[in-house]
A and B are shown apart, each in its own frame.
Chain A
Amino acid sequence: MKDQVNDFAFKIGTPNGTGSASANGLVMQTIFRMGIPVTGKNLFPSNIQGLPTWYEIRVNKNGYVARTPVFDLMVAMNSATYAQDVAEVRPGGWLLYDSSWPLDDRLIRPDVSYIGVPIAQMCGEAFKGVRERILMKNIVYAGALAALLDMDTEIIRGLTREKFSKKPALLDSNDGAINLGYFYVKEHYESPLPIRLEKMDKTGDSILIDGNTSASLGCVYAGATVGAWYPITPSTSMMEGFKGFCQRFRHNPETNEDDYMIVQAEDELSAIGIVIGASWAGARAFTPTSGPGISLMNEFLGLAYYSEVPTVVFDVQRTGPSTGMPTRTQQGDLLLCAYASHGDTKHLCLYPSDPREAFEFAVVAFDLAEHFQTPVLVLTDLDIGMNDWMIPKLTWDDSYVPKRGKVLSAEELEAAVSFSRYLDVDGDGIPYRTLPGVHPKGAFFTRGSGHNKFGAYTEDGFEYQEVLDRIARKIETARTAVPPPVFIRREGAKVGLITVGGCHAACVEALDQLPGVEYMRVRGFPFAPEVREFLDSHEVNFVVEQNRDGQLRSLLILDTGVCGDKLKSIRYYSGFPMSAQHVLAGLKA
């Protein structure tokens, strides 16, 4: 059999809550430090303990980072899912299992090689205490994988030393557990397997990071000072990230003073209310949430749109409708976010495709929200937000200056003859605003009820319409301000492939097998003029997305006016990240 060097995938099945995350992280990080491109996808249940969870690791020398549904090796550590796990191994693949107990005959497939390691038995002998025995089982399979896949043991040891530098007892147990797995495999099996690792130098300028962490870092770098939230999977770790970074960068230990405020609200209604209140008072404020939170925030989004208060919301999408599957990924909020709230509204949306763009777009979101004085929604998803992605290192331009928009200072107000909140002074649809507490001349009454261009209450049809039409003009100009689409151009291509967000990885991988197909990924709404041009320049366009109803396709038709006949739909909405195979299958269908 031909060796599959640095090009394979394996999957680890464990019961939730048994501590497998640190073992899986160790495996992934070791491969990464060996210089080999690697991706990890955590498929976890909405549960604290007991339900099955899987971790998929894909190693790919070409740098493909999308999910793959083909598994060469299965690490079956959860007896409850044995049957399913055995079935998922590709013909000719391997299955690593805990041989402390015999495998049921019905689980034996002739086309799969079985690697039994008596993990529970060895842990029972080597460790004391139930908790440690359970935890170390994970480290033992990591050790077994090290032998099977030819992981660099020096790197593993380096990682455990970094992690447990302050806890020598844990370091000893971890090193011991790795050795148990490693040497058992070395003694009893031929290793490494044909699927194996070889050092490369392709990760030197990269990091492994999840999108919630990078987006929260983006908020710190954007100068956000107020964060409000209500805990909801899969967005929770974003505020945890923000808190951690603020404790590090915004806390003065000498004076015990903070330059940030985080409010854990009673619900999402309150969370966005806090953001709007803080933004109205001049701070950069944001809230991370997921679909159910956006549903609740609709009323306030309408207020922010109509009263023109900058508002930044992160929607880490999960499957809907309703509670849906909270720990599964989807792009099901595209339409909801674009037109949230009753009445005529339209919101700026940003669609990062990975944690790097999540970092960058977080900064863009605040600039746009303050420039246009309107809500900006950043839509990631569970896959981007919670999984570790290999991305080029984050960079920061120290010459960046926040674009705070048209805010009149005390001096400007002092010099002004008068101030009216909603006058289109500059003819660009964007009025001037003032902050409370600054100057008597800046006072005005913000309201969600009908108002005229001077900011006064109105029930006059003309006055009302005048303001509403100006807001439409303002949002229209955002087309050229949101991040433009990215393209992969191919001379003479008659077919277009269009996608959004996290489907990018699957699409670019598929494109390598699709000569004659051009690619566009939209990154902001309302859509830039190039989007319509791209659609027009092909006989047919395939729109790839992760929802049932083809929401991106609908949005393209609504916003660009393109004829729907030109847009075919490729959808995958099971809740798992999309793979290149789904794209290819959709194109052939």
Chain B
Amino acid sequence: MSYIPKPKVHHPSLRKNLIGLTRRDYEGSITTLCAGCGHDSVTAAIIQAFWELEIEPHKVAKLSGIGCSSKTPAYFLRESHGFNSVHGRMPSLATGAAAANRDLIMIGISGDGDSLSIGLGQLCHAIRRNVNLLYVLENNGVYGLTKGQFSAAADIGTTSKKGEVNEMGPVDGVLLALSLGATFVARSFSGDKEQLVPILKAGIRHQGFAFVDVISPCVTFNDHEGSTKAYAYTREHQHGVVAADFVPERSEITTEYPEGSTQEVTMHDGSRLRLRKLDPDYNPTDRDRAYSYIRERQASGETVTGLLYIDPDSKDMMSTISRPLYNRPYESLCPGSAALDKLQARFR
């Protein structure tokens, strides 16, 4: 729960970003999740990403549904508006907020129950609409708050803490997003901050729906032998294929990489994304190849991670709206009495 305020103490030696804020300024209240929870690492990565991007916290809106993961928006960006809503319905709220104020930088936090069971429909349609939102699915394969039931993300053959075997096939968020036409699809691991932070930064800057599935183990209910979402299992089976280096607009790329091993994508705000291919066979702008590659690796027991797909030409749902609607002056919205008079000729 989020009722423990965190003391706002600044150590003078803490590094500041270009807008004069330290990482502390991007924190929230003290987490109430279990010690060692993967979600807390994701929260730390989010804090790092926003700090590195030098975003003013109050320009951000953070939304969530219900569940352990959905509590975490209270633990970062205390100067941002937050909305901890109802179970599985965060995507619709985010759609509305984006429609009202297209300048908001939005991050949605969800879990595998919230996204892939009760909220599956909302997730799918937010992807279809390409809402401008970084959507982080903190995936632990289990319902934590209700004490350890399998979620829809649980793999076939995975066992619960009590030894029960899951026999139903999973809903795979990454494959789902790819097949629905998502314009930004990534998978990462809460224990791999080096990979995750650049993905989050790219997702924040992406114009459209950035889907990031983060395997984020539940230390209390799903970190045992037999679980495919445990720390040990994920470390062993994770197969990174693309690393994303996020390059802000004003910076120059200085690191040299061998010819053909990188692919560069220019984001809509002018910043660039350098995608380093850890597997030369992989092409993160080819949706169909990405899909089959992930499937092939899954068959051999590997979990492919990295920035798996990006559509560099992505346009979000607000294509004909260039300014926020919420503060449009009323005079420009109301046609007035003369127009009403004229209009009514049609009803005679």
| Residue ranges of A at the interface with B (Cβ–Cβ < 8 Å) | 29, 32-33, 207-209, 217, 220-221, 223, 225-226, 228, 249-250, 256-261, 263, 265-267, 269-283, 285, 299-300, 303, 393-398, 400-402, 434-440, 442-449, 456-459
Contact = CB atoms under 8 A, between A and B. Distances in A.
Given A265-B125, A437-B59, A443-B82, 11 more contacts: A217-B343, A225-B325, A259-B333, A261-B99, A261-B321, A281-B101, A282-B100, A435-B101, A436-B81, A443-B57, A448-B84
A263 B317 CA distance: 9
B335 A282 contact: no
A439 B60 CA distance: 11
Contacts of B300: none
B12 interface: no
A366 to B, nearest CB: 11
Contacts of A457: 1-3, 74
Interface in B234-259: none
A437 B344 contact: no
B3 A456 contact: yes
Interface in B55-86: 56-61, 63, 73-74, 78-86
Contacts of B327: 282
Interface string B117-132: 0000110110001000
Contacts of A257: 320-323
B121 A436 contact: no
Interface stretch (B88-96, B202-210, B218-226, B301-309): B88-96
B20 interface: no
Contacts of A270: 89, 91-92, 95, 121-122, 125
B348 interface: yes
A269 B104 CA distance: 23
Contacts of B101: 281-283, 435-437
A388 to B, nearest CB: 9
B334 interface: yes
Contacts of B103: 437
Contacts of A456: 2-3
Contacts of A260: 325
Contacts of B336: 396, 398
A444 B340 contact: no
Contact of B61 (A209, A228, A250, A437): A437
Contact of B82 (A29, A267, A445): A445
27 contacts: A217-B340, A221-B335, A226-B325, A228-B92, A259-B325, A263-B129, A266-B122, A269-B121, A270-B122, A271-B92, A275-B96, A278-B99, A281-B326, A282-B101, A283-B326, A394-B340, A396-B340, A402-B330, A436-B81, A436-B97, A436-B104, A437-B58, A437-B104, A445-B81, A446-B82, A447-B82, A449-B84
A280 B93 contact: yes
B11 interface: no
Given A265-B92, A273-B96, A398-B336, A283 B80 contact: no
A443 B325 contact: no
A80 B339 CA distance: 46
B121 A394 contact: no
**Most chain B beta carbons < 10 A, residue from A220, A270, A393:** A270
Contacts of B146: none
Contacts of A447: 82-85
Nearest to B124: A266
Contact of B85 (A261, A303, A394, A434): A303
Nearest to A262: B99
A438 B324 CA distance: 12
Contacts of B328: 223, 225, 259
B83 A280 contact: yes
Contacts of B129: 263
Contacts of B339: 249
A445 B344 contact: no
Nearest to B329: A223
Interface centre among A217, A267, A283, A398 (most CB of B within 10 A): A283
